C-alpha cells in the first residue's frame, strides 16, 4: 500500500508541475520515483519515472519542439495521469498500466513532424533512468532488462558521465608536489 501511495503522490504532483510547466519539479519527481523503482525493482515505477522525465524535457524545450496545440497537449496528458491515479486508487493495476501506456503512446504520437524528436527524448530518458537504477546498485543486466535498453547503450552512457573517483587519480605538477612536501615538514 505504501508503494501505491507513493505513486499517487508522485503522479498528482507531476500533473500539477506539468500544468505549471515546472521542469525542475518534474525532474525531481522523476528522480524520486527512480529511487523507489531501484528499491522495489518495479517496472511500473520506471515507466512513471521515464514519462515524467520526458515531460520535463518536452516542457523545457517547448519553444523548440513547437507543439501546435500546447494547451490541449497539457490537458490530455493531465487527464491520462488522472485516470492512472484513479486506477491505482481503486487497486486496478491493469488499468493503471493501460493508462500509463496510453500516456506514453500519446506523447510518442503527438505529431509526425516531431515524432522522431519525441522518440529520441523517450529513449534518452530510458537510458538516463537506467543509469540512475544502476547507480543504486542494481546489476547492469537487470537494469537493462528493466528499462529495455541495451547493455551497450547503458555502458556508453555511464562511461560518458564524470566519475567522482577520476578526480582522485589526477596528478599534480611537480611544483605543487614540492610545495605539499615542504608544508608537510613544517
Q: Say how far residue 164 (Cα) sits from the centre of its chain.
A: 21
Cell triple for residue 86?
Answer: 484513479
72-86: pLDDT as tens digits: 999 999 999 999 999
Q: Please give the residue range of the domain that contains residue 18.
A: 2-184
162 secondary structure, DSSP code = P
pTM listed for this prediction: 0.68
Query: Residue ranges of the alpha helices (H) in 41-173?
Result: 43-60, 62-65, 70-89, 93-108, 115-135, 140-147, 151-160, 166-169
CA distances from 15 to 64, 92, 131, 151 (A): 22, 20, 25, 32
Tally the domains of the chain. Answer: 1
Nearest Cα neighbor of 125 from 34, 37, 25, 15 is 34
pLDDT at 93 over 80: yes
Query: What is the distance in angstroms between the CA of the first residue and the CA of the last residue of the chain?
Result: 62
Residue pair 34/139 in contact (Cβ under 8 Å)? The answer is no
98-116: pLDDT as tens digits: 998 899 888 888 766 666 7
Amino acid at each position: 500500500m505504501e508503494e501505491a501511495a507513493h505513486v499517487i503522490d508522485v503522479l498528482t504532483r507531476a500533473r500539477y508541475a506539468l500544468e505549471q510547466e515546472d521542469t525542475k519539479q518534474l525532474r525531481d519527481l522523476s528522480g524520486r520515483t527512480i529511487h523507489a523503482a531501484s528499491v522495489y525493482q518495479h517496472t511500473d515505477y520506471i515507466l512513471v519515472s521515464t514519462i515524467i522525465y520526458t515531460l520535463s524535457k518536452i516542457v523545457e524545450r517547448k519553444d523548440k519542439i513547437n507543439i501546435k496545440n500546447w494547451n490541449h497537449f497539457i490537458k490530455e496528458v493531465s487527464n491520462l495521469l488522472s485516470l492512472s491515479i484513479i486506477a491505482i486508487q481503486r487497486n486496478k493495476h491493469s488499468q493503471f498500466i493501460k493508462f500509463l501506456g496510453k500516456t506514453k503512446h500519446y506523447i510518442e504520437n503527438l505529431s509526425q513532424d516531431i515524432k522522431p524528436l519525441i522518440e529520441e527524448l523517450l529513449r534518452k530518458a530510458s537510458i538516463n533512468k537506467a543509469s540512475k537504477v544502476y547507480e543504486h546498485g542494481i546489476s547492469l543486466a537487470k537494469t537493462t532488462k528493466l528499462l529495455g535498453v541495451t547493455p551497450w547503450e547503458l555502458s556508453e552512457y555511464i562511461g560518458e558521465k564524470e566519475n567522482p573517483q577520476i578526480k582522485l587519480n589526477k596528478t599534480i605538477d611537480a611544483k605543487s608536489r614540492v610545495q605539499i612536501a615542504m608544508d608537510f615538514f613544517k
